[in-house]
Structures are given as structure tokens and as C-alpha cells.
Amino acid sequence: MTAVESRPAGVALTPSPGGHRPFGARVKAFVALTKPRIIELLLITTVPVMFLAAQGVPDL
């Protein structure tokens, strides 16, 4: 058997020339990497359940 790379013809494997991204683009990419919307949904679903399970304010 042989391994075959599947990629469109003409696609380079090296990064595109042009240097670094602008600071704003890097910040936006970092924020997207932290996935704040998913964390928000997790907190919305878990915090009320912690209060219900502890029958009041849970200990920290």
C-alpha cells in the first residue's frame, strides 16, 4: 500500500509570504480560540444546577 496526500493541485504547503498578521486579527483569532460562547453556555447550564444541588449557595 502507498500513502497518498489528498490536496488540490497548486496548493503550497509553506505559509504565504507577507509577514505577520495585524494585531487586531491576532486578538480576534485568540478570542475565537478561547470559545467564549461555549463557556457562556456551560456556565448558564451548570451554575443553577450547583445552587439547586447544594440547596443554597455552594461552598467554594
The predicted pLDDT at position 11 comes to 61
Give the pLDDT score at 18. Answer: 59
What are the domain boundaries of the chain?
Answer: 28-54
Q: What is the pLDDT of residues 1-60, one digit of tens each?
A: 666 666 666 665 565 555 688 999 999 999 999 999 999 999 999 999 989 999 988 777
Only one residue has cell 498578521, namely 21
What's the whole-model pTM score?
0.47
- Distances in Å between the alpha carbon of 29 and those of 24, 35, 36? 9, 10, 12
CA–CA gap between residue 20 and residue 32 (Å, rounded): 18
